Structure 1
Amino acid sequence: MTAPFGAPLLIANPHAGNDRGEVLRAASAALHERGFEHDVAETTAAGDATRIAREAVLGGRRFVVAVGGDGTVHEVVNGLVDPETGDPHQADTVLGVIPGGSGGDLARTFGFDRRPELAIQHLLGDTVNNFDLGRVRLTGLDGQPRTVLFANIAEAGYGGTVTALAGRLPSRLGPARYGVATIAAIARFRLVETTVRLDNHELTEPLSNVVVANGQFFGGGMNVAPRALPWNGRFNVQAWTGRPLDVVRAAPALRKGTHTSRPDVREWNSATVVLEGPPLVVEADGEVLGTTPATFDVLPSVLRIKL
């Protein structure tokens, strides 16, 4: 059996989280059992998934599946679409997602957060949906201008600082790295006078965090952007005016998606976001990208996602 879009290429990071390649093996075995033709490529270093995805679609492949956490999805979409032009390398490219690793929050938005044996069901058939990507232009960690795509959610401020600290902690701590970094970052971060420019609004005030959301979930299941729709051509944007400690205390509300009623959270929908002011650390899809100033825009329906 072959998919209507051709045999998919499964791209996986076998070292994501504590997975050790188990999700890829289970997914591939389940596809073999159904006689579903597919190919597999495993990454060995950072950036491999981007290179493999780019080479695959430039070679004519139309169906690429990211197997892993949000970091794997992040790398794959940056290989499927040219960040500078915003154009896909191959017309009508279809993205599939099988969650694994320590993240998988984008998968939750689409209901893909299932065991591999069940998650592969969405790869079958021909049902797809338009899928937006976010793009950010910012200052890279090397001080040079950088343009990067993201699939799920970006943050600037306290959330970026937490991600940067977590990345410097020993990997053997696993998901606990983020808990440690969340507490450690409280003492390191102060409110920063930040200008936020949106399609129809502008504000300048001290902020702890700015969320630019394409998807709904981050941080292992927190429903940070319950009104985000990754196919409507707009971001869900939130500006937090509370202290970092207030953000931490809001965790129960974040889990439920009820935090947007808090007085220290402002919320808008916008296709563009410009952040200016003293440098804030920017992360997207769990990857530290650089610092503000930063300009975000939506690439509407640039890919199709397999449902």
Structure 2
Amino acid sequence: MVLIADAEDPVATDDLAAVSGELELRGLAFRSVAVNGLEGATEAARETLASGDRFVVAVGGDPLIGAVANGMLETEAPTRGVLGVVAGRAPSDLIRTFGLPADPSRACGHLEGDNVMPIDAVRLTCWAPGGAHAEGSFLNLAEVGLGGSVARWTSRLPRGLGRLRRFLGFWVAVATFRPATVDLRGDRRSWQGRAHGVVVANGQYAGEGYRLSPRSWPGDGYVDVLVMKGPKSDAFTILNKAVLGEHLPNPNIVEYRSRTLSIEPERPWQIVADGRVIGTTPATFEVIPEAIRLKI
């Protein structure tokens, strides 16, 4: 078992120590790899599988989990490896879909035994900052448009603001973002119209606990596409119902499912996937069936 954590994140460093202590108590063999940043996590996961280790555990939130999964998917046979997750105090919406605990002592219990679940990943291509072509994968959910703008503004604010950081990022994005005409093309359906955002969901949860796509399941070979065609105010007026996934059906939200999808607004939109600001549209998405074996 190889634990991967981001040494640049003091919360993750503390959680890694807690996970290590719990695994020692349980008599489980492991080694730890402390990396610097998400690119380091991707590289560490790739090297772990290449060296012959098969059990990789991401100790951190959704951005780190996504980075580790990307490294696993870049190997020749990613399904030979197993991905474990211990979120600790870091935000993770992915674990909510599977009912996995965040607390290290309880989460370590799920690292024992042989229970694994094959889950889909989603391959994403878009434009990175500076105009370069970007390609990667995510496990949970991507937001394009207003949701991506929220993540971009939030990432620019100091981490020391805590939960206020996302609150401020949200309202700055709502105030400055402009809806646009967007063209969506998939293997099952196409759609064109004015919207302020598109959700491409493999998992169910987003925004640290909102059940944004309650019909999604990351093992059915599809992503659920939610097109937000109503006013920008919907981004906060639906939140109370979205906690339990009761905001759907909604006349302001177009819902459908797809294996492949392209998104091209009339002007570039920001994209956030698994908590990471990836780039801008135009973008394409493709489901990779049963790409990762998740330890449950």
TM-score range with shorter-chain normalisation?
over 0.9
Q: What per-residue deviation string (whole Å, max 9, x for no partner) do you get for residues 221-244 of structure 1? A: 111111111111110110001122
From 92, 95, 99, give the equivalent of 2:80: 92
Show the counterpart of 2:119. 131
The corresponding residue for 1:4 is none
Question: For residues 162 and 170 of structure 1, what CA distance do their matches in structure 2 show?
Answer: 14
Q: Are the counterparts in 1 of residues 79 and 293 from structure 2 also a CA contact under 8 Å?
A: no
2:31 to 39, 42, 51: 39
- The change in CA–CA distance for 1:90 and 1:155 in structure 2 (over 3 A counts) is closer
Partner of 1:285: 274
CA offset digits 1:247-287 (Å, max 9, x no partner): 11111122111112221111111111110122111110111
2:92 to 98, 104, 125: 104
- More deviation, 240-249/203-212: 240-249
Alpha carbons of structure 1 residues 44 and 129: separation in structure 2 relative to 1, 3 Å? same
Q: Determine the C-alpha separation between the residues in 2 that align with 1:252 and 1:187.
A: 21
8 Å contact 1:66–1:72 — kept in the other structure? yes
1:73 Cα deviation after fit: 0.4
Q: Which residue of 2 aligns with 1:246?
A: 234
The question of whether the paired residues in 2 share the 8 Å contact of 1:96 and 1:306 is answered with: yes
Cα distance change, pair 90–199 in 1 and its aligned pair in 2 (3 A): closer
Q: Matched residues in 2 for 1:91 and 1:196: separation?
A: 31
Q: State the alpha-carbon separation in 2 of the partners of residues 35 and 224 from structure 1.
A: 39
Distance 2:112 2:76 in 1: 23
Give 1:91 shift: 4.7
The aligned counterpart of 1:300 is 289
Which residue identity does 1:158 align to in structure 2? L
- Please state how far the C-alpha of 1:100 moved relative to its aligned partner: 2.7
The count of corresponding residues between Structure 1 and Structure 2 is 295
Percent same amino acid among aligned pairs? 36
Q: Does 1:265 align with 2:253?
A: yes
RMSD of aligned Cα (Å): 1.4
1:2-51 Cα distance to aligned partner (Å, 9 max, x none) = xxxxxx101012444x6252221111111100111111111223411011
SS of alignment partner, residue 206 of structure 1: strand
**Once the 2 structures are TM-superposed, how far is the Cα of residue 177 of structure 1 from its aligned partner?**
1.1
Match of 1:49 among 27, 41, 55: 41
CA contact (8 A) 2:78 2:291 kept: no
How far apart in 2 are the matches of 1:264 and 1:45? 38
Superposition pairs of residues 75-86 of structure 1, within 5 angstroms: 75-82=67-74
Partner residue, 1:3:
none
8 Å Cα contact 1:60-1:90 kept in structure 2:
no
Q: Can you list the C-alpha shifts for 1:31-77, whole angstroms capped at 9, x where unaligned?
A: 10011111111122341101111111111111101110001101101
Look up the SS of the partner of 1:225 in the other structure.
coil
What's the secondary structure of 1:47's corresponding residue? helix
Q: Does the Cα contact within 8 Å between 1:99 and 1:112 map onto a contact in 2?
A: no
2:223, 2:287 within 8 Å by CA — same for their partners in 1? yes
What is the match of residue 235 of structure 1? 223
Q: Deviations over 1:148-196 (max 9, x none)?
A: 1111100110000000000000110123211111111111112110011
Relative to structure 1, is the Cα distance of residues 117 and 20 closer, same or farther in structure 2, using a 3 angstrom cutoff? same
The normalised TM-score by structure 1 is: 0.92
Question: Does the 8 Å CA contact 2:111/2:295 hold for their aligned counterparts?
Answer: yes
Name the CA shift for 1:91/1:230 in 2 (closer, same or farther; >3 Å). Answer: closer
Q: What one-letter code is carried by the residue in structure 2 that aligns with 1:42?
A: A
Contact 1:209 / 1:240 at 8 angstroms: preserved in 2? yes
- The match for 2:110 among 103, 114, 122 is 122
Of 160, 172, 186, which aligns to 1:184? 172
1:28 paired residue among 20, 30, 34: 20
Instruction: State the Cα deviation string for residues 100-141 of structure 1 (Å, max 9, x = none).
Output: 343111111111133110111111000111111111111111
Q: Which residue identity lines up with residue 13 of structure 1 in the other structure? A: D
Q: More deviation in 161-170 or 182-191?
A: 182-191
- Say which of 6, 15, 22 aligns to 1:13: 6
> Is the counterpart of residue 223 in structure 1 residue 211 in structure 2?
yes
